[in-house]
Structure formats: C-alpha cells, structure tokens
Amino acid sequence: MSKGKWVTMKDVADLAQVGTITVSRVLRTPEKVTEAKRKRVQKAIRELGYVPDNTAGALSSSKSRVFGAIVSTINDSVFAQTLDSLSSTLRAAGYELLLTSTNYDPDVEEDALRALLARRPDGIVLTSTSHSAEVAKLLQSVNIPVVEIWQLPPAPLDIAVGFSNFQAACDMAHHLISKGRRNIAFLGGHEPRNERGRRRREGYAAALNQAGMGPAMWPNEDQDLRSGIELGSAFFEECLKEDPQLDAVMCVSDQVAVGVLCEARRRGVEVPGDIAVSGFGGFEISSPSGFDLTTIAIPGYDIGVASAKALLDPETARANKIIDVGYRLVERGTA
Amino acid sequence: MSKGKWVTMKDVADLAQVGTITVSRVLRTPEKVTEAKRKRVQKAIRELGYVPDNTAGALSSSKSRVFGAIVSTINDSVFAQTLDSLSSTLRAAGYELLLTSTNYDPDVEEDALRALLARRPDGIVLTSTSHSAEVAKLLQSVNIPVVEIWQLPPAPLDIAVGFSNFQAACDMAHHLISKGRRNIAFLGGHEPRNERGRRRREGYAAALNQAGMGPAMWPNEDQDLRSGIELGSAFFEECLKEDPQLDAVMCVSDQVAVGVLCEARRRGVEVPGDIAVSGFGGFEISSPSGFDLTTIAIPGYDIGVASAKALLDPETARANKIIDVGYRLVERGTA
DNA sequence: CTGTTTTATGGTATCGATACCAGACTTGAT
DNA sequence: ATCAAGTCTGGTATCGATACCATAAAACAG
C-alpha cells in the first residue's frame, strides 16, 4: 500500500487466489461464499489495507449509495438536529450524505441540484418546497426518491416529512388569545424564500382573523432581514412604539424570542406580566434552564430519522406521501 | 429524457454530431473547442437535459471532485458556520462536500473514514485531532490533503487550520484576573474526546497557576456531561455552594455561559457586580442585542474558507502546515 | 448410479466518462 | 505553392467495480 496508489479488488483477489467477483461477493453478500474462501479474502483485505472504490461500484451497479441534501442553511441551528439524525441513520445503513446549502437563494438551488445529480445520488432531501420550474422538472425527471422536509406542501413532489407550520402558529396564537392577550404582534423575518416563516405568519394572521382580532401587526414587509436575536431585539422596540397596548409578541423562532426577552429585560418590561412572549422551535435555549420559553417543540430528530427511512424505502413511504411528525405546544414561563 | 434513464454523453454527441470527447471538452475546457461546435454541443445538452455523470468521470480521471468532512457534531452550532463557508467555497470551485458526524465516538470515526475513503475524495477535513492508530495510518497512506480544523495540533498530520484554544482560554483567564477577580471557576463538560474543551480548561489552569492563584475549580472530572445551557445552569449552583467567595465563572462555551447567566438571574445574582461571566465562541447569543457576553470570538467563517483553500491548493498550504486564523477577546458587559 | 436441481465460482462485457495518441485541418512563413 | 508548427477532433483503451452468463462442483431424488 504505497502512497498514492490504491489497492484494487484484483490485488486482493490475486493474493487470496480467487476471482475478483468472489471478493466483491465477500463484501456485499458474504453468505454466498464458502467459509474457507471468505476467510481467505477477508485476511487478504486486511493485509493489503484494501478500501473498496465505490465510484467504480456506483458506475457498474448504478447505485451510488449516496443521498444528496439541499438545505437552505446550516448556519443557524434549525436543521442541525435533523441533519445529524439523517446522516447517522443513513450511515448505519451504509449510505453517505452529500450536503449543500443554498442560503435561501433559488439560483443556487438549481446549480446545487445539478451538481448533486451529477453524483447520481440514490435520493434527495430538500428543505425548501417552492422550486423554480427548472428544478421541479429536473426532480421529476429523475427516478429517485425526493423528500421535502420541515414542511407539508399541499402537493409534494414525491414524499414530504414535516409538520404544519401554519397549524402550529395558529395553535400558538390561539393559546395567547386564550391567555387573555388581545394585542398580539408577530415578529419574523421576511426572507422571501423562507416558506416556513411565511406559513407561520399566515397561521398567526388566520388565527387572529378567526378570533375577530386585528389588525395583525408585524414588521414592515419590505424589511428583508434574517430572523435572529438581533431582529427580535430591534423590532421589539419598534413594536412597543407602534402599539403601546401591546400585550404579546409571537416570534417566528426561539432565536427571535430570545432577542425580545433580552431587550425586554433591558427595558424593564415584565414577561409575562406586561407582555407575553412565545418562540418556535423548541431549541435548547427555550428550556427551563434557559429562558423557560413557551414555544412550539419540533421533533427535528424524528424528521431526520423519518426522512432517512423514506429514502431507504421509498415504496412504503409513498403509500402515505405525507408523513406528519407533528409538533407540541410547550407552555412554559413566558406565555 | 424518460424516467429512470439518464442521458449519456454519447447521446449528446450523436445529436450534436460530434465525438464524445468533444462533449467532454465543452464541459471541462470549452476554450479548446471551436465556437460552432461548442454552441451545437451546448444546445444539445440543453435540449436533452443532459447532466454529466461524475462517478464515471471520477473513475477515469481519478479525481472525484468531492471532499469528505468528518465533524464531531453538527448538532450544536459550533461548526455550523465553518461548514457553511466550507461548503460554499468548495461548491464555487466545482467541488462537493460529503459530510459525516461522529458524535465524539472514536469507533465511529474509523468507520466513517473508511466509508469516506471508499468514495475516493480529493481531500478530507477533520474536526478532531486525536486519532486512533488505525485512523492515523489510513490518513497517512492516502495521498490526499488532510486538514485538521478548529485546533492547532502540535504535529499536524498534514495541514491544520485553527487557533490556539489553550492560548485563548489563557488570555480570558488573565482578562478576568486583570479585572480584579480572584476566585475563578471553570465550567465545561468533560467529554473525553472533545480536545478543544480540554485545551481550554488547560489554558485556564495554566493562567491561574501562573498568577499564583488556585486551587482552580471546575466540575468534577468524572461527570461526563455534554456542554450546554443545562450544564451551565446546573453547575453554577454547585459552584456557588462549593465556594461562596466565587467572583467569576469562565465557561467553555457561550452556551454554558448562557446557562449560568439565566441561573444567575433566577437567583438574583448580579452580573458582573457579584460575579463575572465569560463565554467562548462569539456566537450570536453573545452579541450586545443578546446577552452582551464577554467572550472569545472565533472566526468560524474564516476557518471554513481557509480549509477550502487548503484543500484546493494543498501545496501552498503545506508550506505553512499550520494556518492560525486567530481569535479575538471581546470585552462586553458580563466581565 | 444416473439425472436433475442447487450452489459456488470465474470469465467477460459493461457502466460513462477521460487520457492518450494519431490523424485531419488551419494557419502563417518562406 | 509548399512546408512546419500549431490547433481541433475523434478512435480506442482504460479506470475498478458489478451484472450476466456459463460452467464446475455438490447435493439430492429416484
């Protein structure tokens, strides 16, 4: 095993005095090889330090044993748990994950998808559900499972694993209303491509509308800000100015809620006394040891596992097409 | 382009009435093909919706245009920024990233590495620097760049991109001392494989020792807890009990510091009046709109970019072997 | 003991691209 | 007009595995 030269299956076969195909079988279907030869081959593999070449295997078997993932971001922790469980579950089944992030840019999405398809993945995971025509066409033309996650699109391309952002936000708004809140603002970025955030805002608006309340208030539409602590902090001030009667702030994410809570403390605003605050996500920061934040807990881990299962066994998953992992409204100290 | 059948280079070549090699050249070295043919080929590519097969290309050129990454975790946000910039930078150069996480488990690391090598990556990124003998042997036997990140090992396998966790922690401890703090505790998990956390603790201990102070205090060695908000919150209580004189808590991460700060508020402990608190990482939560936490800002983004450069041009990077991206002690409101 | 099924094994073609080389065609200089 | 040098282009071998088929050996039924 000298530097720069890979040991091939042939080398192993020669050393073990068998055909290459037998080596291949020892690796893929060891039960079909007699014990004597299997042992000999395994010994040769160890001795030579043989690492099979999956690119060659992929070519001849047209199974790459790789799945592709296109996530809108890995930078904030939203998908981290999902990616973690997805990648572990897949690796346990002998598959690898090819990861790309788009930063919510649709042009990047198409490029990323082409680059991904060039690796001939056995399936694809996407966090976005609104695709350009070209992307949709590409995805439909390939005969591999496509799993859209973290949302439940009305018409999934193939399989969807997620929960209803709309319904969850709706529930949270109703919760705030049931707690006697009457002037509820919604705080969330307006990244045009962040479908999840948009659906949450819509759920909020629907709930208020349904309760005959309004007008719903949220940061100016044309502010294209990334949701985060800073946004929560900055816009809380604005909200207070705009509506002194404000008695609740519903945030698009736990991070935004943290920004609000920090700002509230600085201004001496009592939570939940003066103002109730809710988050979305159920991240560690919302826990009782953290901000003790009332939030929507999302089973990010389960989404990863369920998507992995869907990729590995698409037929079964397609029977449902939409896999709803649900969510949980967690009532804690802030609302 | 019917379902399940991929268009091949030959199909494109036939339609454009050229040889396959010309199609290949249009994709890789377009300047070497006359404009007329190039146009014809590009048209054919578009018409057929051709997506090249990189697995085949990898086989014949022995360049996979894929890099592998083995990170100890993607779950907490530590590496998120680094992965994001790494993957973007690589993709801009036409490369993809194969991602695996080990959850700090050395057995998993070896498996993951074997699986990765089976894809014949053009380079590998690792977040861990203490490897099993087998892993080190594997890495040394392959003739591809290996980049260890987020730390500066004394003897890098190949190239290292990071900063000195030891020195940074040392600086922070000195900062606390310079602020008149005399009873400084260190709070951090003891995951045995988390080298970074360990080096920070050592830096802290060294600084205190140097200042003739001590005994250094930190949670019991045998507690194998993951660092996080909960740890900060739980152990802050314990620290106070153990040493009522405590006037500073230096945390292994911003998350732990947040746990401490939350707990301090619940207990009515003044920060920084009664007790100073410092974090490590410089994540969003430490910003002035958040906790306004005194911390060590780490250029996670730069680490990603620098590693990408090192992977793409290892010869230049090897001239230095160790690329120190530095860190910044950011003094804010908590210490 | 023969004939049939089952199991184990290897040879050869193949997957879809690129490398290498050879030949055809330009271009420009003389 | 001719030749040398340079530019394009395509044929064929090749990368390292697996699929497919054929054969040899073993197991089994009658």
Percent of chain A topping pLDDT 90: 64
Q: What is the mean pLDDT of chain A?
A: 90
Confidence of residue B106 (pLDDT cuts 50, 70, 90): confident
| pLDDT at residue A218, rounded to an integer | 65
| pLDDT at residue B188, rounded to an integer | 85
Confidence of residue B328 (pLDDT cuts 50, 70, 90): very high
CA–CA gap between residue A104 and residue B37 (Å, rounded): 36
CA–CA gap between residue A59 and residue B68 (Å, rounded): 20
The predicted-structure confidence for A257-277, as pLDDT tens digits, reads as follows 999 999 999 999 998 999 999
The predicted-structure confidence for B234-243, as pLDDT tens digits, reads as follows 888 888 888 8
Q: Is A258 on the interface with B (CB under 8 A)?
A: yes
Of A164-168, A176-180, B185-189, B203-207, least confident by mean pLDDT is: B185-189
* Contacts (Cβ under 8 Å, ≥6 apart) of B320: B159
* Contacts (Cβ under 8 Å, ≥6 apart) of B268: none
Best B285, B291, B334 residue to mutate vs chain A (most A CBs within 10 Å)? B285
Across the range A39-66, mean pLDDT stands at 93
Q: How far is CA A145 from the centre of its chain?
A: 16
| pLDDT at residue B216, rounded to an integer | 60
The predicted-structure confidence for B241-259, as pLDDT tens digits, reads as follows 888 888 999 999 999 999 9
For every residue of B237-268, DSSP letters joined together read HHHHHH-TT--EEEESSHHHHHHHHHHHHHHT
Across the range B296-308, mean pLDDT stands at 96
On the question of pLDDT at B300 being above 70, the answer is yes
Q: Do B77 and A73 touch (CB under 8 A)?
A: no
Of A57-61, A231-235, B54-58, B309-313, least confident by mean pLDDT is: A231-235
Q: What is the pTM of this model?
A: 0.91
A64 CB neighbours strand C below 7 A: no
Across the range A313-327, mean pLDDT stands at 94
Distance of residue B62 Cα from the nearest chain A Cα, in angstroms? 10
Q: Do A88 and B94 touch (CB under 8 A)?
A: no
Q: Is A281 on the interface with B (CB under 8 A)?
A: no
Q: What is the mean pLDDT of chain B?
A: 90
A289 CB neighbours strand C below 7 A: no
Task: Name the nt closest to A59 by C-alpha to C1'.
Answer: C15
Chain C nucleotides covered by protein, CB below 7 Å: 8-20
A256: nearest Cα among A289, A293, A205: A293
Confidence of residue A2 (pLDDT cuts 50, 70, 90): very low
CA–CA gap between residue A276 and residue A293 (Å, rounded): 10
CA–CA gap between residue A25 and residue B111 (Å, rounded): 20
| pLDDT at residue A235, rounded to an integer | 84
| pLDDT at residue A113, rounded to an integer | 93
Across the range A235-258, mean pLDDT stands at 88
B57 CB neighbours strand C below 7 A: yes
Instruction: Kindly state the DSSP code that residue B17 receives in the 8-state scheme.
Output: T
Chain D nucleotides covered by protein, CB below 7 Å: 8-20
Percent of chain B topping pLDDT 70: 95
Q: B180: buried, middle or exposed (CB in 10 Å: 19+, 13-18, 0-12)?
A: exposed
Neighbours of B273 (CB within 10 A): 8
B192: nearest Cα among B254, B128, B271: B128
Phi/psi for B301 (5° steps) reads -60, -50
Protein residues with Cβ atoms closer than 7 angstroms to any atom of nucleic acid strand D: A 6, 8-10, 20-21, 23-24, 27-28, 52-53, 56-57, 59-61, 63; B 17-22, 25, 32-34, 36-37, 56, 59-60, 62
Tokens standing for B306? Answer: 């620098």
Of B1-5, B60-64, B322-326, least confident by mean pLDDT is: B1-5
| pLDDT at residue A3, rounded to an integer | 47
Q: Cα–Cα distances in Å, from A335 out to A52, A180, A249?
A: 56, 10, 9
On the question of pLDDT at B217 being above 70, the answer is no
**What SS3 state is found at A123?**
strand
Distance, angstroms, CA B201 to C1' C4?
Answer: 75
Q: Which H helix or E strand runs over A21? A: helix A20-28
Distance of residue A212 Cα from the nearest chain B Cα, in angstroms? 34
A174 CB neighbours strand C below 7 A: no
Distance, angstroms, CA A60 to C1' C4?
Answer: 34
On the question of pLDDT at A52 being above 90, the answer is yes
Residues of A in contact with B259 (CB under 8 A): 289-290
Percent of chain A topping pLDDT 70: 95
Across the range B266-276, mean pLDDT stands at 91
Best A45, A61, A87, A99 residue to mutate vs chain B (most B CBs within 10 Å)? A99
* Sign of the torsion formed by the C-alpha atoms of B129, B133, B135 and B136: positive
On the question of pLDDT at B327 being above 90, the answer is yes
Q: Cα–Cα distances in Å, from A134 out to A49, A140, A156, A205?
A: 44, 10, 16, 32
The predicted-structure confidence for A101-154, as pLDDT tens digits, reads as follows 887 787 888 999 999 999 999 999 999 887 888 888 888 888 899 999 999 998
